[in-house]
Amino acid sequence: MNPTEPIYNAFIGFKAPEDFLERFERFSAVVGRNRSAVARHLLARCLSSYENDKIAIAKLRQEIL
């Protein structure tokens, strides 16, 4: 293993409809990175944007429901 490679020690997964998976695969291909790297990047950006914003969290909670 290359010493500069990040070490990941957890697996995160979720159920998604087929159209979401196809859309995500196309997006990852356009970005030119594997799905795991794209998912980590997008989730990290989302967390950075929302985790300390109570109003944004409340809005997100409503959108998910």
6-46, pLDDT tens digit by residue?
788 889 999 999 999 999 999 999 999 999 999 999 999 99
Length of the chain: 65
Going from N- to C-terminal start, the domains of the chain cover: 18-64
Residue with tokens 């794209």: 38
Please choose, from the candidates 45, 42, 8, the residue with its C-alpha nearest in 3D space to the C-alpha of residue 24: 42
Does the pLDDT at position 4 exceed 60? yes
| pLDDT for residue 2 | 61
Does the pLDDT at position 1 exceed 70? no
Does the pLDDT at position 61 exceed 80? yes
Which of 27 and 1 is assigned the larger pLDDT? 27
